[in-house]
Structure 1
């Protein structure tokens, strides 16, 4: 098959999943064309079945802002015609689904459009009245719509498919995934001394440090843990809440125990260093970082928000608590960190769950089956 893929190429779960899916499909012999405004950061080395097509939105005097959505639709149509694409698989509803639908109208109905919803395009943008109709339009006119969790599919139906003409639109759940050749338990004990002293437990948080990720809860949970056992916290990422996080760390006297690592392109090795992942998010449509941690044998302490319970099995691969339940999360973490037998059981259960449910080849096969169903109609 000849497949065009559009995503946000920067750091973020949707871009990571879209890029990794394209790479897996290319390995299986499909021709993959990434159509984005920048090279996806996870694209990596050259592959003969992958091409990148840049999108440029030029400035014109009559436009206050460069018309990126129109430039994207035009580029999609151009690539579809030149390379005779079978379908466009777009990740994120706006503007990608709208641009793909417009490109299809320019090229012809033989070009199919698959839209994958990842979360904030529904749970955040969907709350904006000025965007609701356009998101609904993208869902309605896509040939197939997928969501990365059952919870996100449910929210989408409730927000966009009730009392509208897309009420009968099927939304298929296809989970996110990890490439087990990249995410696996690595022997990195020799690196721990760079971040912690002997006997200290290492906790980890990775996010874009926005309020919805509740990074201040991360610090509060860690403070309670560190008051009872020797521990350090690694923070990976950047975002608008970081100044508040730094202030909180200083106020609690944790400067020597919290390590700020900033943005990191490759996190598999860092995850393997950790003993626990902390993910107390207020909203989380899937929780990709929890899946990546499980694949590295690292249990997660998380909230029950969104799709996280579909990834982390409470009492087996990690522990879950209500959003904001700082004391409960801290006690769960201490329980695991103090009980080596329990910890090992959780680690092994997580590895098994990833292999059974979230293996990259399995999920890529589900997308392939979806594509083939569309093209055979």
Structure 2
């Protein structure tokens, strides 16, 4: 599942455990529906809520969603993802139901082409008029929404992502000759840039490392081809989609996330929770999680030189990995717990419902 889907189900389960009635509406069948059932959540698949843009299907999706909301009569509708955010806010407004939208990274952020930024900002300005509140997962996203005149500061609320805690293993410095296991957890599609990581690792081939890629997606085959062409097939593993990511991170030594743009990626929080140092592109809200030189290294977008330097530091120095991993775990406990996110989100619900009168 993508980060937004994980966030949604965690949030829904947390609200249900607090005693609230929750219904999850999601496009189609699949892993989200299955996971919701495992969590004991009511989940209603929507036939016409699809990722691809299709005017006719999207029109059907609007009426399907509106019908379900009219039947459910919720106190508040909380929307995630661009398509659901548009159709859901339109449907909620037509029924006079308060709508909250969480932007898991704006489509008009830096790294997106100027033409697309202008188009997406125009759409989000229109949609903001239908929103009781807009939650951003980082201060960065709040700031660019204000700068792009999508919404004002009163309508925007920052709620940093948070994730449930799990037990972590105690890491200790390894002997210098041990192989350092790197991991990147991300789908093989924009905005992730697995290819850049492979090319950077080819420049530190003299060091003792392996890399695990977790995830699938349309760019997987091309990254496999680059890996083979650079002679790194024996050191890079493609694990595909996994449902045991916490265990994979616990067995790793460092997380690397190379992206062209981001919101506030859950995989960085998962790595901090596991006590791992993080090397990540300094885009979106990543800098609000990773302390440069403290819990990991922030690398400017598309900077191969600084990515190579950061990889060399982390791979070659076990003491650095240990100290950064401990600092990351402490920062997770202080700022990015699930309970903190849950109660801040609930406060937004109460504000919206209270304002409705």
TM-score, normalised on structure 1? 0.82
1:68–1:153 distance in 2 versus 1, CA, 3 Å:
farther
Structure 2 Cα separation of the partners of residues 350 and 291 of structure 1: 9
Conserved in 2, the CA contact under 8 Å of 1:205 and 1:236?
Answer: yes
Question: Given the alignment of the two structures, is residue 174 of structure 1 paired with residue 163 of structure 2, yes or no?
Answer: no
Structure 2 Cα separation of the partners of residues 368 and 75 of structure 1: 27
Matches within 5 A, 1:1-377: 11-39=1-29, 40=32, 42-47=35-40, 50-57=41-48, 65=54, 67-92=56-81, 94-108=82-96, 111-123=97-109, 127=116, 131-161=120-150, 166=151, 170-181=155-166, 184-186=167-169, 199-225=178-204, 227-377=205-355
CA-CA distance at 1:371 after TM superposition: 0.5
Alpha-carbon RMSD across the aligned residues, in angstroms, is 2.7
Deviations 1:117-158 (A, max 9, x none): 112544359826555443322112101111111111222223
Q: Unaligned regions of 5+ residues in structure 1, if any?
A: 1-10, 59-63, 190-197
| Helix, strand or coil at the partner of 1:260 | strand
Structure 1 Cα separation of the partners of residues 171 and 318 of structure 2: 19
Q: Unaligned regions of 5+ residues in structure 2, if any?
A: none
Conserved in 2, the CA contact under 8 Å of 1:178 and 1:358?
Answer: yes
Conserved in 2, the CA contact under 8 Å of 1:174 and 1:363?
Answer: yes
Conserved in 1, the CA contact under 8 Å of 2:107 and 2:120?
Answer: no
Q: What residue number does 1:6 align with?
A: none
Q: What residue number does 1:192 align with?
A: none
TM-score, normalised on structure 2? 0.86
Stretches of 4+ aligned residues off by more than 4 angstroms: 128-132, 166-169, 186-189
Q: Which stretch of structure 1 is more off in the superposition, 120-129 or 243-252?
A: 120-129
Q: Which stretch of structure 1 is more off in the superposition, 286-295 or 237-246?
A: 237-246
CA-CA distance at 1:335 after TM superposition: 2.2
1:84–1:68 distance in 2 versus 1, CA, 3 Å:
same
1:363–1:68 distance in 2 versus 1, CA, 3 Å:
farther
Structure 1 Cα separation of the partners of residues 134 and 331 of structure 2: 26
Structure 1 Cα separation of the partners of residues 268 and 10 of structure 2: 17
CA-CA distance at 1:84 after TM superposition: 3.0
Larger RCO of the pair (alpha carbons < 8 Å, separation 6+): 2
Structure 2 Cα separation of the partners of residues 130 and 317 of structure 1: 36
Conserved in 1, the CA contact under 8 Å of 2:162 and 2:337?
Answer: yes
CA-CA distance at 1:211 after TM superposition: 4.8
